[in-house]
Every structure is written in C-alpha cells, then in structure tokens.
Structure 1
Amino acid sequence: MTALPPIIADWFKTRGWALHPHQQDMLDRSAAPATLLIAPTGGGKTLAGFLPSLVELVGGGHAGLHTLYVSPLKALAADIKRNLTTPVQEMGLPIRIEDRTGDTSYTAKRRQRADPPHILLTTPESLALLTSYEDAPRIFAGLQRVIVDEIHALADSKRGDQLMLALSRLDQLAPGLRRVGLSATVDDPQAIAATLARHPDPCPVLQADPGPDPQIEMLVTETRPPWSGGGAQYAIGEVLEQVRAHRTTLIFHNTRAQAEIFFHRLWLENEDDLPIGIHHGSLSRDQRERVEAAMVAGELRAIVCTGSLDLGIDWGDVDLVIQVGAPKNVKRLVQRIGRANHRYNAPSKALLVPANRFEVVECVAALEAARDHDLDGDPRGPGPLDVLCQHILIRACAGPFDADQLFAEVRTVGAYAGLSRAAFDDCLSFCATGGYAFRAYDKWQRLKQTDGLWHLRDPRAAQRIRMNIGTIQDADLLKVRMRRGNRVLGEVEEGFAASLTPGDRFLIGGEVVRYEGLKELTVEVSRTPGREPKVAVFSGTKFATSTQLSSRILRLLNQGSWPNLPGHTAEWLMLQGEVSQIPSADRLLIETFPHEGREHLCLYGFAGQNAHRTLGLILTQRMEAAGLSPLGFVVTDYALLIWGLEPVDDPAALLDPTDMRAGLDQWLQGNAVMKRSFRGVATIAGLIEKNIPGPKKTGRQATFSSDILYDTLAKYDPEHLLMRITRDEALHGLVDFGRIEDMLARIAGIDHRRLSRVSPLAAPLFLEPGKVPIVGEGRERLMAAETERLMAEAGLSAL
C-alpha cells in the first residue's frame, strides 16, 4: 500500500479526513498506463485522480508540465483550480496550478507556453491548439499524467474523438504517459475504458462504492399538468415552495429558451424576493461568473439552469435538484441529480416536474430506470473522418510529419482502430488539395510532400487553421448589448435577431429588454417595463427521448393498470384503451379518424422527435404520390400526426422499408438538411473557415458560401469525401433514420384502428406548436378554450 507523504497525511489528519478506499486504490495504481475510475458524485474522485500527481510533486524538482487535466467545461476547469489550489497552498507545496481555456488571456497563454505550470487544467479545444505549435515537443516533454474528467460526457461526441487524437499525439511527445479517466455516470464502463485506452492495450476499471441511492420523486401539484407544452408554468407556485424549504435549489431545464421563460415567471411570483439566478451557455461570461460566484458564496436560494451546470462543479450548498420537463435521458438525469448533497455517502435529493400530461408517464418511467440503475447509451460508430482531417491539419501546423507514422499513431485511438489506409489517405489527400473538385483552387492547396514528409505549403496558413480548431458547431450568434452602459447580456441566434423590429421585447438573462437596432453585428437593447416578451431562440440542444427510455415507457404503458401514475393520467390511458388501444413495443399502432373536415393519421412510433419528423416528411411525400393530399404534420417524441384531405385506408403500404429508404434518399438530395449537415462537416474538416483574420462574417454570408460549395460538389464530385461524411451524418444525426429502421425492425405487425373521432392519446398532439397557431393578446384564453373543446371531443374534459 502506497503511503501518503507526511505533509499530505498531516493535512488530512488536521481535517479529520481519511482516504476513501478508491482514493487509496488510485494511489496504489499510480504507475498503471491507464485507469478508469467510476465513483459517485461527492466521492472525491477528482482528488483521487490528482493524488498521485501531488505525491510525485511534493518534493519539488520536476521542471515544467507534469499533469494535464482535461474537462468538457471551462467552468469545471476553473472550479477544479479553485478547489485544488487551496490545499496546495495550505500545505505549502511547490506546485503551480493554472487553467488554460478560451477565457484565459493572450498574455497568460504565451507565458504558459514559455514556462508551463506543473498542473495545467484545460479543455479538448485548448489542448488541440497547444499540440499545433512548433514548440509542442518542449511543452509536453516532461508530461507524466493526463486526467480526463467527466469522460462519459466526452466519449460519445466529436469533442471526445478530437481529445483522444490529441492524446495519441502526446504519447509520441511524452513516452510513458499515464492516462486516468474519471466519471460518476457510465452506462457501459468497458466501452468508456476502451475509449480511454491506447488500442489494443487494456484499461482496468476501478468502481468505487456507489453509496446510497438518490431520493427522487415526482412533484405533486394541485394543478394538473397541461395536455401539451414544455414550460411547466402550472407548477411555479409549488416550485417556489420547494425553494423556500431548501438552502439552495438547482432548477434544470432541457433548453435555454425554456429556462428563460421559467425564470421570468418564477421571478414574477417571487413575492418574498428570494435571491434567484439564471445560468446557461448563451449568457455573457461576466453574468455567468457573477452567478457562479454567488453560488459558491451561498448567496442564492435557487439557480435556473441548463446543461451548463450538468457536470461535476461543486457549487455551494445545493440540497435539492429539480428537473423541469421529462429528462429524455436517464444518464443525464442521474448526472443532474448528483449536483445535490455533493458529499460522499449522502443521498442526493431530486424532484421531477413533468411539463405536460404525457411527460408524467415519461417521468415515472425515468424514476423507475434510475432506481434500477438502468442507464441509457447507444454504441458509438467509428471515428468521424472530418475530425481526422482537422487532426491532420493540426499536426501539419506543428511541423513536418511522416504519413505512415501518423497513420499508426491514429490507429492507437479506439474509435479509429479499424481505420483503413485508404480512408486515411482520402483524408490526407483532402487536406493537401481539397479533393478533385477543388484541386484547381490555391485556397485549398494546403499541404505538400517533400523528401517523404508532409508539411504546410504556406506556413502562414497555420494561423487560420489554429483559429478554427474545435468540433463544437454553434448556431450563428450575435451579442446582445445594452445601448446605455455598453453591458453585454449574452447572445441570441442571428435568425431570431433578423425577426425583430425596433420596439420588440424579448427575454435574456432573466431581463425583459427592448430591441433598439442592429449595429455592427451587435443587437442593441434597452431596459423596458414590459412583462410579455418574445422568447429568444437559443441554440441549446433539444434532446430526444433515448431509445432505452422509450422502451421502458412502452413497457409501462402495457402494464394493464398503472398504480404508480397519478389518477388523472391513469384514467386517460384507460380511456385510450377503451376507445382505441394502448401502443406496444412489438406492434405499431396507427389510428385514422376525421376531425374538422380533415382526415388524420396518428402513428405511435416512440422513436424520438427527429425520427418522427423524418418519418413525417417521407410519409407525406409518399401520400402525395398516392393522391391522398396531405396538408401537414406535427411530431412529439412518442407520435406523429398527419392531416390531409383523403383517408388512408392502408397505412402499412406507406411503410415499406425499401421504398422509405428510396424516398429518404430522394428527399435528402435537394433538402436543406443535407446542406446544414455539410456545413458542420466542412467546417470541422477545414474546408470552411468560420473564423478568419479581419471582420467577422455573418451567419448568412457563411451559409451562402457553404451552399455554393455543397452545390458544386453535388454536381461535379458527388462522391467527394465530405459528401460521403455528410450523408452519413444526416442519416444518423439530424434525420435519425436509424431509429426509424430500428422501429420497423422491432415490430411484428401494424394495428390500424379506424376511429370515428380523436383518440385520447392523439388529442394532445393537436395542441403542439404549429398545429393551433393562435396569436394575439387573448392567446392564453383562446388556447384554454381550444383545449377544452378538443378534450371534450376526445372524452377527456373531466381529466
């Protein structure tokens, strides 16, 4: 057993602390090439990761960078710096700790390259940038350990692929480098371990005592949840009561827009003037930092937030987490719950607040999954080639390289272990010339080969490549600034800004502001006393219910009775069974019925919004060809509703998998979805530069440029590398065709129910946005009347 040095042991003793077993195990395994630690939130896993480094550095004598810590969030790196610096200073250890993120000043970054600290805390993007410099061999020469925190949040994204490619580069610069992965919520530990390891080497998994199960319940409210919608405004009063009853409450939302709406309504009803803040990725850095500082100081009673606070940041004395809206993903729910009672062996406490009636069912299913430790996650495919293209360009910035050596290096990354030499050479050729369609243009002639080594054709290109490093594809955002005082509030999407006219009011950072005008790509606003704003269209991720959670929902629906559901929801489902039938996993329920002079088809696919939207596009296309005159459709995570002029007598004929795939390919060829996918792929691969020296391009200018490139390739080089990547991305990302195929594969047949009226389960779909476009001052009253009428027709007025 490895003993702590006396100075560290004494520091633990003065606080009455002792090492947890998993912390001792990590100390004992400090020489292992790779280790994945899975420990509960509050279990000291970050300290477990750093202890071997502190022990090795305690005596001084190590020159330069010893340990690199990588996290998904800038705020997490800053938090770790604060929590790690305190004990190091108290022990008087000769250890320099610094962070390096997008928020770090240019001066500090230059100094860190010249004189690296002992421990550097950074993000995948900043690490990739560091590896691109010619002096990278000197910077990383003495590196001993890399700690990847919250590795589950990186393992299933392109950011994680880029990080692992960067680590493969570090292996060449610092032979013998040891890797440590840390996580609290992992659905498949062996898959994460394989991501962390150097292929084909193994990576042992160390699992700590998980501690007590969290205390999770659904919030019981006097007002029944509405039939549709996503804001959960009906529960504002009960949420405020919970805030009053606890020290600090985190109130999570799935989108930034919903967080803004909820915060605004919460503040309007906050008659006690409880200190409440809001935190999400579209707010200004200053505002986020003010909220974070207030949280650490214990000055806030509640924080309305999004995924910006998902991960392991230890903010103040949080004793309750509220998830507003169905969590969509059990792993994300468990991660968020872990923010409460951030202490070892102290159960987290959380409440779920369904936004509408069907989300009641989803919340109950998620509660059961969390209690069963049934975390969801889909297997990753092979490493994306657009990320590999960027990695090749990054490698070229650092100096000449041998293609054979780089190919071997890349194949040590688990996601790229099966990469063929032909695919690698495709990427290298693209980086060198842009590919067949672009090789005549000097702009994309970036690499050349001399004496067997590849290098930049023009060294000045390195600056432009470095300016575009990263895989995060944000929507085009414009800063929002107060006209008086010049204070930046945050950012909104360019498309939203374009829809504003002077005098319009909208929400940002919990404030209602008045739009004054657009000046040099900045939205200028002023304060306004208005209480009914528009809502800014933020770019936060819109989650689809996971495949595993959808399966659990279907099992719950088919129990026959529902003692765990509130009475109003159980009665709704019973009525559905009487009027039609309950959807099941092995049969696809399709209802057709007349309503207000239109024919309707409702398909209960439980495949998620993206898949249902794609299914709606394909089916309406096929209905149009069959002369059924479809007029439109609306989707949720559980169903698709199509309306038109003619009844569908045989819906099964519309669902032939071969014909559907052909219909999808035909639709994709001329659709904006492909162009949107192409723009993201081309930006990551380096064909399109979002950031260039000089004035910033508007989103419309960048879109226009990418559309021209896409059209050129579609016409002259349809099998170009980026076109192949784009097709794959569109199928598995934006249109989610894979989940449609999975749905068709799981069903043994179709149950077509021809009804005389709207079914209970279909009725809420008529209230989804886009189906009942009611506007004006009386919209809430009109919506309530429309709801009553629809529910009465479906036999639901008493529920």
Structure 2
Amino acid sequence: MPAGMDRTEPSQETAARWMAGRGWAPFQFQQEVWAAIAGGRSGLLHATTGSGKTYAVWLGLLQRLLAQRQPGRGAEPLRLLWLTPMRALAADTTRALREPLADLAPTWTIGQRTGDTDSAERARQDRRLPTVLVTTPESLSLMLTRESAVEQLAGVDGVVVDEWHELLGSKRGVQVQLALARMRRLNPALVSWGLSATLGNLEEAMAVLCGVDAQPAPALVRGRIDKQLLIDTLIPPDPGKYTWAGHLGKGMQVPVVEEIEKASTTLVFTNVRSQAEIWYQLLLEARPEWAGQIALHHGSLDRGTREWVELGLKEGTLKAVVATSSLDLGVDFLPVERVLQIGSAKGVARILQRAGRSGHAPGRASRLTLVPTNTLEIVEAAAARVAALEGRVERREAPAKPLDVLVQHLVTIALGGGFDAGELYEEVRSAWSYRALTRAEFDWALVFCERGGESLSAYPEYHRIAQDEHGRWHVPDRGIARRHRLSVGTIVSDASMQVKWLSGGSLGTIEEGFIARLRKGDHFYFAGRLLEFVRVQEMAAYVRKATGKKGTVPTWQGSKMALTTELGDAVLEMMLTASRGEYPHPELRAARPMLETQARLSRIPTPGMVLLETYRSREGQHLYVHPFAGRHVHLGLASLLAWRLARERPNTFSLSVNDYGFELVSAEPFDLGPVLDRSVFAVGDLLHDVLASLNSTELAQRRFREIARVAGLVFSGYPGQPKSLRQLQASSGLFYEVFRKYDSGNLLLSQAEQEVLSQELELSRLRATLERIGARELVLAELRHPSPMSLPLMVERFREQLTTEQLSTRLDRILRDMERDAPRQG
C-alpha cells in the first residue's frame, strides 16, 4: 500500500461512490491510479483507447483535492491543469471533466484556454482563473510569461498531460517538460500524470514526464482491459501481378463506398491533407446524394468547419468523415462504428490509435479496415494486423537538449517574474531532455538571450534579457516582451495564407508556396469545394465557386511519414511465409500473383537476407537494394552508396527511394564489387561520409529556419500583419550565413546539423541498418525486366520527369514486356 494510505479518510471513497451512483464499477487499474495519487505519487497510465483513462486520473486528483479542501461557498483558485496536445480535444475534455466536478464540488469552476478561446473568455480568466483549466502546452507557456505567474501557478496541485505519446518525441514535449520543471519548483508536492494508449517504452516515457530523480517514485499503471480489436483488410477485386505506388488508389473507390454504406458512421483516415481532399471528392463522385452527409476534416480548415464536423460526429448525423491526424486523438465519438485507413499507416502505434476511434467505450469492439493503395501494401496490411494484435508498438524518444527551446524558455521565465541563473540551471536539468546539459551550454544560451551571442550584440532587438541590481534576469523592453508572447511555441510550419470568399468568410489556410504557383482563373480543390483563384491581397487568397469538374489539389510540405522498424520487420516476416509457398492470410492470397512473379523474376526478400537486384536499360545500369528500413533511412543509404561508389571511380547517379528500398541509376557502368564485398556498407567513418554524400549545408540551413523561429530570432509578424514565406526564409538564411562567418561556435548551428542527422536521416537507424546488412546474406538477382519490387522505385523516379499520360504509356509497355517474358522465365 503506498505511503499515506494507512489512514482512511471519507473523501478517499469519493471516486468509487460517484461511479457507483451511475451503476458503474471501477476497473482495477482505475483503483490503482486512485491509490497512487492519494499517496502523492506522479505517474503514467497506459491503457487502450476508450477504457476509462480520463476518469481514472481525473477522479483520483479530484478526490485528493477534496481531501485537502472541501468546497466552500466560493470557487477555489487554480488547482489543476489538464494539458491536451490539440485544441480540438479541449472542448471535449472539458465536457468530460465537468460532470463529476458539478456533482462533487459544485462551487469549483472549470474552463479552457487555447488558441481558439475568444477574447471575452480570456478577459474573464485574466481577472480570475478557474479551479480547473484545460489548456495546451503553448497556452501554459504563455501563462508562465505573466508577471503574476509565480502567484497564480504556485497553488496548482496537479497536472495531467493527455495523449503523452503524441507529445513525447517532439519539441512540444520538451516544452511540457520545462513547464513541469518550473511548476515543481513552485510546488514540490505537485502530482503530474500522463495518459497514453500507444507506447512501446513505458518506463522511459514515465521518466521523461515525471522528471529526473522524481520523489516519491512514480507509478506506472497498465490498464489491461479485454477490449476486442478487429483489424481486417479491404481486398481489391484484382490486385494484379505487378505493383507501383498508388495504382490501386482510385480502383478502391467503389469497395470503400460499399463499406461505408454498411455502417452508421465511418471515419476514413488518410495520411496527408491532399489525400483527404482527393478521397472526399471520390466519395462524392460515387454518391452525389451523400452531399451534406459526408464531411472533410483536417488542420488547415477553418475552425468553424472543424467544429461543425466534430459535432456531427458526436451526434451521429454524418455518414462518413474523411480526416487526417486532426482526428487521431482522444475525442470521444461514440457513434463511430467503423474506421477505414487509406494506404499504409506506416506504424503499429498509428494503427492502434486510429482503430480506437471506433467503439470508443468500454465493452465495445474497435474495428479498423486497412485499404491498400498498391499490391505491396496488401502484404503490409497482413503484417500490420499481426504486429498490432501482438502489441509490437514503436518507441518514442524525447529530443536531447534542444537549445532553441531552452532559449525560448529562458525569455519566458525572465518575463514571468525573473530568475536566478544558478537556480534555473538546476531546474532545467531536472527536465529529462536536459539532464546532460552542461553549465557552459546553459551559459551560452543565457548570453545568447542577453545580447544575441557573438555576432548580434550591436542590435538592441536581440538584447532580450538583462540583470537587475539583485542579479536576477528580467526582460527590460515591453516591445520584446510582446514579440516573445506572440511567438511562444515550437510548432513551426511554412507561412500560410487565409483562403477567403470574395463575398466574405474564410475557408481555412493554404501554404503560401501553393498559392504562389496559381494564376488568376486557375481551379483547385480545397475544403471539399472546387474553387477559382481570383487574387492575393494582404496575405489572403480570394476565391469564388468554380464551374466545371477539374482542378488541382493543394500540396502541403509536411514530411512524408516513413515505415517504422517494427512494421518493416513484420513485413519481412510475412514475405518469409510467402517464400515458403505458404499463404495463410487472405492478404497474402490476394498478393500471391505479385509474390510469385517476384519469385520467378528475382527473389522474395526475407529477414535473413538483403535482396539486391541489377538491371540494364537504355538509361544505364540500375541497382536496387531492399532493406525495408523506411524512406528516411533509404535516402541516407542511397546517397551514401552513390558517394562511396563514385569516390573510387567518378560517376553520376540518379536516386529513388520508397519505404521498402532504393534505386541507384548510372548512365555509365559501375563496379558491383564494393557492393558484393560489403565495403560500401561499412559503418566506419559513417558520420563523415553521410555529411559528404549529401548537400548537408542546404539541409542544415532548411532545418535552421525552424530553429531560428523557435529561438525567437525570426518574428512571424503581428496579428493581421504576417510576414511572407520569402521574408521568413530570407531572415533565417541571413542569420545562418552570419553565424557561419562570424560566430562559428554558435550552438544553434550545431543543433541544426544534429537535427538533420537524427531526424531527417535518422542516423542511428541508418547505422543499425548498415550493421544488419553486414550481418545478413546478400542475394543478387540479375533482372531481364523490372521486378514487382523494383518497378515502384522506377516509377518514383519517372514521376519527376514524365507527365501522367507519358508515365501511363511507358508503364503499359513495360508491363506488356514482362507479361510476355515472365511465363518463359518461370
């Protein structure tokens, strides 16, 4: 029994009594959480979606508060913070928390504060904060910038971080770590809990949340609820022998529509916003009578539109909603009966997360149907189902001491009452991501905030903090303070434009780069409508309803998700089954023609080997390598191999990558000896060779743009006066060059290089992949025709050079040749 539980107080039965009043009996894991919280312990609750996590932590914290202070005539000041990673979750969470609060502490108040909170509510909160506040990491950081921050936040007894897995691996998670470190300084007895449904490294995730050397020891509670998880695959009617990325896409239109017709309400998930726009049009094209019954939801749509869609899902008035990750997280949509995932989900955690959007209540089954968009994804679907049911969930790693976030935090705390440097250094080091932060690195960040480092000392706008006569650091300038408050946060995206009707009203936002390519009269799809572009005025794109049926689809620059190691390994295991002539899963039986053709023309890759394929064409010599390590790793590998091969004998290579492998093409023949003797796969001098093989300066400069904005070097503009993308890029580029020439020891430059290696190229995974290649058998297949594994890589490269019509013609010819020769080769 945890410390403090040996005496029984009436309030410690509050949670159980409240649930019993509704005819509910608490689960064992909920009781474990209540006991831990009563003992003053922080922790992490990991349980399936829809199993009752919210009430486990909320009722535990509420009864702890009631044990300390019974409700009086008036409302208590701010006592509890509930952090959510998405604004869309705030209203839903507030509703879930309000019911027990109204019954158990009717005089206590609850509110929410996010970027969507209106000015009237903000003004009320500025006068008096509610007892319980639902907010976001960014809004909490803004609270820390108030002069009254110490007074307002010192009384907070508990903090809950919802969907902790979503924040853990990002700079937003680091922002939460720093905010919690500050609040523990203000109240050492603070209890903090994280909620998660999909994490592989639970002990580490808890340590990141609760901080270094947390006392008393945190509690890890696993909610084991027998919740039925149904994962199946929508098998295409004729998957075919050959595959290339996306060629089954539109062919799945009718099967998807038929599945939607079988359910009351369906969520259709895509991985990117442009794909969501396309599939919304495909559904309307197939069922025009569904207009008004189906909807579109993604992060670039106007807030009013998103709220209308969310309400329709809650009330069950919508037949289907096509969405991106904007609806991934824990909003409670009870009417949702089915979830469809268009294309590969890329990871096991995402499959489990999205499956949990259906059957979102204890006792109800969650059902996810995978919809492959190419034949290889049919195999991947079987692997994903097996991996998900076995719980092979990916790890999430917290970033290591990002100094741009630290610089922002120093200015934040300087605004919020000021700080002593020695005390704040120790406080920051109590946050997991900064546990290895040296005093020299902290002092560098301090000097950078004080005078902009070595190269910006002549510019007053970069003198953001100063010491007073007592040695405490403050922000001395009101203009700097205002700019900082407008820039708080770590979410950095390319500059976007409002899309507005000529007649008035907003549809949402589109990245400036897409709008810049449009000419007056061009048609494009956005927010589920066909629009005609009219003009740009004051950073807004004005449109009107278009006539006709054709238009382009906006593209967003968000990086493509890559296949995870866990899912890649599961796919190879499925390939091994097929290589033995066994097809136990319906997906494998559907993909059998493709797999058998792969076996005839080449080999089926398996876990114990790495498949290499060579091919001669009019373009030159092709080498295909299939490690199944994800597109980010394959980009680094392809660049590395090309550089190492050309180092011995000058040559020029074209590269193509996907999640399963990569292609090198050279007009001049190249020696395969270094490939077959594995010397090009050597791990030695890896860092030097990777940096040499890529335009690492350009990659680092692009990464530095984000760092510059988080660190406050680049200001995005005042409300109503945003800066253009070109201005932001020019500003960050100028800083990058100035630092390189005049401040080469600037730690933000080295951070940019490290982020390129760790995040864009995933250097640790690249190293691990090279080590795996070194330990496995290399199998070389000489091709007379592209194989089903190599053809998608060829198509990836063709897409950059050919129109859709030219690509289709060329593929038809390749497939005819293969069809003619494959039986003879067999």
Structure 2 CA distance for aligned equivalents of residues 694 and 505 of structure 1? 27
1:214 to 229, 248, 252: 229
Q: Secondary structure at the match of 1:438?
A: coil
Aligned partner of residue 460 in structure 1, secondary structure: helix
Question: Whole-Å Cα distance in 2 between the matches of residues 793 and 402 of structure 1?
Answer: 78
Verify the 8 A CA contact 1:481 1:524 in the aligned structure 2.
yes
1:532 and 2:532 matched: no
Verify: 1:482 aligned to 2:501, yes or no.
yes
Distance 2:556 2:234 in 1: 27
Contact residue 573 and residue 761 of structure 1 kept, 8 A: no
Q: Distance in 1 between matches of 2:548 and 2:105?
A: 55
Offset at 1:210? 2.8
In 1: Cα distance, 2:824 partner to 2:55 partner: 56
The answer on whether the counterparts of 2:244 and 2:791 sit within 8 Å (CA) in structure 1 is no
Check conservation: 2:417, 2:474, Cα contact below 8 A: yes
Q: Which amino acid aligns with 2:455?
A: A
Deviations 1:47-90 (A, max 9, x none): 11111344335941362011110011111111111233345446
Partner of 1:289: 307
Indicate whether 1:676 and 2:702 are aligned: yes
Q: Which moved more, 1:38-47 or 1:565-574?
A: 565-574
**Partner Cα separation in structure 1 for residue 770 and residue 155 of structure 2:** 54
TM-aligned CA deviation for residue 755 of structure 1: 3.1
Question: What SS does structure 2 have at the residue aligned with 1:754?
Answer: strand
1: CA distance between counterparts of 2:730 and 2:421? 35
Q: Is residue 71 of structure 2 the alignment partner of residue 60 of structure 1? A: yes
Distance 1:472 1:105 in 2: 21
Trace 1:114-133 onto structure 2 (pairs within 5 A).
114-133=127-146
- Structure 2 residue aligned with 1:595: 617
Deviation at 1:524, TM superposition (A): 1.3
Map of 1:257 onto structure 2: 274
Question: Do the aligned residues in 2 keep the contact of 1:668 with 1:674 (CA within 8 Å)?
Answer: no
Match of 1:229 in 2: 245
- How far apart in 2 are the matches of 1:213 and 1:794? 47
Cα gap change, 1:471 to 1:366, in 2 (>3 Å): same
How far, CA to CA, are the matches of 1:210 and 1:768 in structure 2? 44
Decide whether the 8 Å contact of 1:329 with 1:545 is kept in 2: yes
Unaligned runs of 5+ in 1: none
1:467 to 475, 482, 486: 486
Structure 1 SS opposite 2:332: coil
- 1:341 to partner: Cα distance: 0.5
Q: CA 1:662–1:646 in structure 2 vs 1: closer, same or farther (change >3 Å)?
A: same
In the other structure, the counterpart of 1:544 is: 562
CA distance in 1, matches of 2:821, 2:561: 29
Deviates more, 1:276-285 or 1:553-562: 553-562
Q: For residue 722 of structure 1, what is the amino acid of its counterpart?
A: L
CA distance 1:646–1:325, change in 2 (3 Å): same
Number of the residue aligned with 2:667:
645
Secondary structure of residue in 1 paired with 2:349: helix
How many residues are treated as equivalent by the alignment? 797
Aligned to 2:781: 753
Task: Give matches, 1:698-713, under 5 Å.
Answer: 698-713=724-739
Residues 1:18 and 2:25 aligned together: yes
Stretch deviating more after TM superposition (683-692 or 310-319): 683-692
Deviates more, 1:710-719 or 1:52-61: 52-61
Aligned equivalent of 1:195, options 202, 205, 208? 208
Q: Closer, same or farther in 2 for the Cα pair 1:794/1:151, shift >3 Å?
A: farther
**Is 1:325–2:325 an aligned residue pair?**
no
Cα distance in 1, alignment partners of residues 95 and 823 from structure 2: 55
Match of 2:360 in 1: 342
Amino-acid identity (%): 33
Once the two structures are superposed, residues 307-326 of structure 1 have per-residue CA deviations (whole angstroms, 9 ceiling, x without a partner) of 11111110241111111111
- The aligned counterpart of 2:530 is 512
Q: Within 5 Å, give how 1:359-370 maps onto structure 2.
A: 359-370=377-388
SS of 1:757's equivalent in the other structure is coil
Superposition pairs of residues 241-252 of structure 1, within 5 angstroms: 241-252=258-269
Q: Once superposed, what is the RMSD of the aligned Cα atoms?
A: 2.7
CA contact (8 A) 1:592 1:647 kept: no
137-146 vs 91-100, which deviates more? 91-100
Are 2:767 and 1:741 equivalent residues in the alignment? yes
Q: Secondary structure at the match of 2:37?
A: coil
Q: Give deviations 1:751-785, integer Å, cap 9, x for gaps.
A: 44333332331122222264474437x57964773
Contact 2:162 2:194 in 1 (8 A): yes
Following the alignment from structure 1 to structure 2, what is the Cα–Cα distance between the partners of residues 688 and 798? Answer: 61
Mapped partners of 2:440, 2:122: distance in 1: 38
Check 1:667–1:644 CA distance in 2 against 1; reply closer, same or farther (3 A cut). Answer: closer
CA contact (8 A) 2:245 2:792 kept: no
Q: TM-score, normalised by structure 2?
A: 0.91
Give the Cα–Cα distance (whole angstroms) in 1 for the partners of residues 151 and 817 of structure 2: 70
Q: For residues 92 and 28 of structure 1, do their structure 2 counterparts lie closer, same or farther at Cα, with a shift above 3 Å needed? A: closer
Name the structure 2 match of 1:27: 34
User: Does 2:428 match 1:415?
Assistant: no
In 2 relative to 1, CA 796–38 (structure 1 residues): closer, same or farther, beyond 3 Å?
Answer: farther
Comparing 303-312 with 31-40, greater Cα deviation is found at: 31-40
Q: Distance in 2 between matches of 1:286 and 1:224?
A: 40
* Matched letter for residue 635 of structure 1: V
Structure 2 CA distance, aligned partners of 1:459 and 1:524?
Answer: 36
- Rounded Cα–Cα distance in structure 2 between residues aligned with 1:152 and 1:674: 27
**More deviation, 295-304/643-652:** 643-652
- Paired amino acid for 1:418: A
CA separation of 1:189 and 1:2: change in aligned 2, threshold 3 A = farther
Distance 1:4 1:338, change over 3 A: farther
2:654 partner letter: G
Contact 1:101–1:122 (CA<8 Å) still a contact in 2?
A: yes
1:528-583: CA deviation from partner (whole Å, max 9, x where unpaired): 23322211012445210111211222222223334124335233223323332233
In the other structure, the counterpart of 1:99 is 112
Structure 2 unaligned residues grouped into runs of 5+: 1-7
Q: 2: CA distance between counterparts of 1:410 and 1:52?
A: 29
> 2:273 & 2:471 partners in 1: Cα distance?
51
- Partners of 1:527 and 1:622 lie apart in 2 by 54
Q: 1:694 to 1:772 in 2, by over 3 A?
A: closer
SS of the residue 2:231 aligns to: strand
Cα 1:719–1:6, aligned 2, differ >3 Å: closer, same or farther? Answer: closer
Q: Which moved more, 1:255-264 or 1:381-390?
A: 381-390
CA distance in 2, matches of 1:758, 1:769: 14
CA shift digits 1:711-741 (9 cap, x unpaired): 1222222331111101100111123333322
**What residue is the counterpart of 1:41 in the other structure?**
49
* Range with greater deviation from structure 2 (201-210 or 229-238): 229-238
1:774–1:135: structure 2 CA closer, same or farther, 3 Å change rule?
same
Matches within 5 A, 1:305-704: 305-450=323-468, 451-484=470-503, 486-559=504-577, 560-561=579-580, 562-563=582-583, 564=585, 565-585=587-607, 587-622=609-644, 629-630=651-652, 632-650=654-672, 651-652=674-675, 654-658=680-684, 661-666=687-692, 671-692=697-718, 695-704=721-730
Change (3 A) 1:377 1:366: same
Matching of residue 785 in structure 1 with residue 812 in structure 2: yes
Shift of 1:645: 0.8
- What is the alpha-carbon distance in structure 2 between the residues aligned to residue 692 and residue 16 of structure 1? 52
| C-alpha distance in structure 1 between counterparts of 2:174 and 2:823, whole Å | 49
CA contact (8 A) 2:626 2:661 kept: yes
Residues 575, 605 of structure 2: 8 Å contact kept: yes
CA distance, structure 2, for counterparts of residue 6 and residue 619 of structure 1: 65
